[in-house]
Amino acid sequence: MIAGLDAKRYDLVANEVAVRTDRLKKYDMSDPYIVSKAVLIVGKDNHDIKTLNDLKGKKVGQSLDSNYRKIAEDHGATNTVVDGFNQSIDLITSKRIDATINDSLSYLDLKKHQPNLPIKVVYEEKNATSNAFLFRKNSDELVKAVNGALADMKKDGTYLKISKKWFGTDVSK
């Protein structure tokens, strides 16, 4: 998705992009709109992986520009590049990879819609990550408009209503 932004195929990325110093050097970002925690997901019958340290020598599925790819590789995992979360889950359930690291909200949403999927969370990160919309540099007007819309939604209660409907909690904190 970030490559598409760079190629000017679209004006912003709205996909839980983590606010990171390296990204702020190259891109503009909105105010954070959601926080999430990384979770380590494995097949239901996997008893070998319990923590990030257990990823050494294991196969994971992460997208190329994912924050989670770096975490997995830093813990000794070999990455299979995937297009997204659903593909990584398909690879776990078909036993082509051992694990994936992804967002806790994505996992909760997936299990809500497919409760019988044979996967489980074995580890959850303690610290939450702030996520924001990502823009090409010098997109000041668009960033201002998005930030204004976010502020309006939080002020009038729309944001909290949507958050509780889909996640059961306020995901902005």
Predicted confidence (pLDDT) at residue 169 exceeds the cutoff of 80? no
Say what the pLDDT of residue 66 is: 87
Domains of the chain (ranges, CATH numbers): 14-35+128-167 (3.40.190.10), 38-124 (3.40.190.10)
**What would the 3-class secondary structure string for the chain be?**
CHHHHHCCCCCEEEEEEECCHHHHHHEEECCCCEEECEEEEEECCCCCCCCHHHHCCCEEEECCCCHHHHHHHHCCCEEEECCCHHHHHHHHHCCCCCEEEEEHHHHHHHHHHCCCCCEEEEEECCCCEEEEEEEECCCHHHHHHHHHHHHHHHHHCHHHHHHHHHHCCCCCC
Predicted confidence (pLDDT) at residue 79 exceeds the cutoff of 90? yes
Predicted confidence (pLDDT) at residue 168 exceeds the cutoff of 80? no
Say what the pLDDT of residue 88 is: 98
Q: Average pLDDT over the chain, rounded to whole? A: 94
pLDDT per residue as tens digits for the range 102-149: 988 899 889 888 999 999 999 999 988 899 999 999 999 999 999 999
Say what the pLDDT of residue 31 is: 97
Looking at residues 72-96, what average pLDDT do you find? 97
